[in-house]
């Protein structure tokens, strides 16, 4: 039984439960005692039954929306919000994934239609819109999956609360960690450098990728050194100084974490750093050192049994499947803030302030040259500095939803989309558009995929085989002719030049297939005019050998 109090505030999910008790014929006193509410609150809920039900059922995922909100007040610009949500639902029903940048662009279009000149589809607006309609910060997945995930949230909260009480943990002893992708060298489309870069063979300049792990405690007083996974070993200029790097760097061919690398980080870095912090900063006795690390239920994380310190005082706990976007604190603005800070530093080092006398050719060459100078060492130091600058209040607020069922405050002051637009314009980058900037800022918003399971690899191979059979129905010569025509069009049209590299890759693949099919046809005609067992006497060339 909850303690009755004058100032008890129920969220929408609890108000729905109150209404269900009323429908079931429960007495006024029993409902007041169960939910700890006053008589006036009881009658207010009963009076506003239709308003509450309409609002909750309108949400994309009613269970999630009701669980997180306490008020039925809508958005400041209700007409824009309704229009964007209707557009989103249409896209979702058609099975089309909708990214955050697309929601922002749609909002601005509708705001213009409604004459809302003071409306800004900022990152903060996007965050509130997603929370209002319980839209996860990821590609759209099945409603059944989200519904199942939302139903697992409250039992997990209760389990976590019991564990915190049993272990007598304070906020400083509660940790969360999460992995993310970082395209450390990417720049917005249509900058002077990117337009020049389109003409360069390979266009590798914007494809550099790293993976990073961020971990901090619930009150934001302890941020652990970030771990970075790169594709190759560090260059000589960095190798000599590896021990003093502000991050932990590990090379990996797949540029992602493995069970081995994560386990190594947990025992060699996480446990020692946590013990040092609690003994030397918090001044705890060694026997009082305890910690609980919350992680996604990912294939790259070993079991919770194996992620435990020798004395059993430092352990891990996994979030339920598919709940990361709902309650994982690092996904409630922490990783996003770090990436925004990193992009700011990257721009400061990578952009060129052009002279008025510079022509387009000079601007492009200067821009490409400047970006090439920006190396992995610069990226590592900028990432570490960005993580250091993430505010303590940002981390603390990110835990509000998980621990207290409160909607987290989202403060990106100075790091909104328009702020990056300003620095680009100051450097003479006038051709980039706000949508280009948003795609760049949120390009690595999705967390990278972990290593595929055997079943996943099998599925992918089957899908590829099916795709190859489907391609055979088309004439390769006709496809190549169309690609050649498209490439001519792209080269002659500046606004479409960003597609050059993709089309060129397709053209090269088609040429390979033409070459392979020509060899196969020659082999087929060769076999037709000989006895059926003649192939046993020859070492037949394979398809892979032909492509090489």
Give dist(CA 232, CA 59) in Å, integer.
46
Give me the pLDDT at residue 200, please: 43
507's enclosing H/E stretch is helix 500-528
Give me the pLDDT at residue 459, please: 44
DSSP 267: I
Give me the pLDDT at residue 204, please: 44
Quote the pTM value.
0.59
Q: Which of 4, 1, 10 is nearest to 406 (CA)?
A: 10
Check if the beta carbon of residue 387 is closer than 8 Å to that of residue 338: yes
Give me the pLDDT at residue 357, please: 53
Check if the beta carbon of residue 330 is closer than 8 Å to that of residue 398: yes
Q: Give the 3-state secondary structure of 354-406.
A: CCCCCCHHHHHHHHHHHHHHCCHHHHHHHHHHHHHHCCHHHHHHHCHHHHHCC
Give dist(CA 178, CA 189) in Å, integer.
29
Give me the pLDDT at residue 469, please: 44
Give me the pLDDT at residue 392, please: 94
Give dist(CA 240, CA 110) in Å, integer.
55
Give me the pLDDT at residue 365, please: 61
Check if the beta carbon of residue 140 is closer than 8 Å to that of residue 293: no
| Rounded (5°) CA angle 205-440-134 | 145
Q: Which of 44, 43, 41, 35 is nearest to 13 (CA)?
A: 35
Give me the pLDDT at residue 15, please: 83
Give me the pLDDT at residue 430, please: 53
Q: Which of 226, 234, 213, 531 is nearest to 376 (CA)?
A: 234
CA 58 to chain centre: 26
Q: What are φ and ψ of residue 183, in 5° steps?
A: -85, 90
Give dist(CA 494, CA 330) in Å, integer.
40
Give me the pLDDT at residue 190, please: 54
Structure tokens at 123: 């990152």
Give me the pLDDT at residue 362, please: 56
- Residue bearing tokens 């037709």: 528
Q: Quick: pLDDT tens for 98-125.
A: 888 888 888 888 888 888 888 888 888 8
Residue 269: beta bridge partners?
none
Residue numbers of the chain with a pLDDT score lower than 50: 1-6, 60-68, 70-72, 138-144, 193, 195-196, 198-205, 354, 446-472, 522-548
Strands 248-251 and 314-318: unpaired
């Amino acid at each position: 039984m909850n303690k009755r109090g004058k100032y008890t505030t129920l969220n929408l999910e609890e108000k729905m439960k109150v209404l269900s008790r009323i429908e079931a014929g429960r007495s006024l006193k029993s409902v007041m005692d169960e939910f700890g509410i006053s008589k006036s609150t009881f009658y207010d809920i009963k009076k506003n039954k239709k308003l509450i039900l309409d609002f909750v059922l309108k949400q994309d995922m009613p269970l999630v929306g009701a669980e997180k909100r306490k008020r039925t007040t809508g958005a400041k610009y209700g007409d824009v919000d309704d229009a964007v949500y209707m557009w989103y639902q249409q896209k979702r029903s058609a099975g089309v994934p909708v990214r955050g940048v697309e929601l922002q662009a749609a909002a601005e279009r509708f705001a213009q239609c409604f004459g809302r000149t003071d409306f800004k589809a900022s990152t903060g607006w996007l965050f509130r819109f997603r929370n209002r309609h319980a839209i996860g910060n990821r590609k759209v997945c099945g409603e059944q999956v989200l519904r199942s995930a939302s139903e697992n949230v409250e039992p997990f909260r209760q389990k976590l609360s019991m564990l915190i009480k049993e272990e007598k943990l304070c906020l400083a002893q509660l940790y969360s960690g999460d992995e993310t992708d970082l395209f450390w060298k990417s720049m917005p489309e249509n900058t002077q450098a990117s337009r020049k870069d389109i003409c360069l063979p390979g266009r590798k300049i914007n494809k550099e990728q790293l993976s990073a792990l961020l971990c901090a405690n619930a009150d934001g007083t302890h941020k652990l050194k970030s771990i970075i996974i790169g594709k190759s070993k560090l260059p000589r200029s960095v190798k000599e100084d590896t021990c003093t790097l502000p991050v932990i760097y590990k090379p990996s061919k797949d540029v992602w974490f493995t069970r081995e690398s994560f386990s190594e980080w947990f025992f060699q870095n996480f446990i020692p750093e946590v013990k040092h912090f609690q003994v030397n900063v918090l001044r705890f006795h060694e026997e009082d050192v305890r910690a609980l690390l919350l992680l996604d239920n990912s294939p790259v994380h070993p079991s919770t049994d194996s992620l435990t310190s020798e004395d059993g005082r430092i352990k891990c706990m996994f979030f339920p499947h598919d709940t990361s976007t709902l309650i994982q604190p690092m996904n409630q603005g922490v990783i996003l803030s770090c990436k925004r800070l990193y992009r700011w530093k990257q721009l400061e080092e990578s952009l060129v302030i052009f002279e008025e006398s510079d022509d387009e050719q000079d601007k492009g060459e200067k821009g490409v040259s400047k970006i090439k100078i920006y190396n992995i060492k610069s990226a590592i130091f900028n990432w570490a500095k960005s993580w250091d600058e993430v505010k303590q209040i940002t981390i603390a607020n990110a835990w509000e939803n998980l621990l207290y069922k409160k909607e987290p405050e989202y403060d990106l002051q100075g790091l909104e989309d328009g702020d990056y637009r300003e620095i680009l314009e100051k450097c003479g980058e006038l051709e980039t558009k706000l949508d280009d900037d948003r795609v760049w800022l949120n390009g690595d918003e999705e967390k990278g995929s972990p290593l595929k399971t055997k079943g996943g690899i099998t599925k992918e191979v089957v899908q590829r085989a099916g795709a190859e059979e489907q391609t055979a129905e088309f004439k390769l010569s006709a496809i190549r002719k169309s690609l050649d025509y498209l490439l001519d069009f792209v080269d002659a049209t500046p606004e479409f030049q960003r597609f050059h590299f993709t089309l060129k890759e397709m053209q090269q693949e088609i040429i390979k297939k033409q070459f392979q099919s020509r060899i196969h046809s020659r082999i087929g005609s060769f076999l037709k005019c000989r006895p059926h067992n003649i192939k046993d006497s020859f070492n037949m060339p394979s398809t892979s050998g032909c492509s090489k």
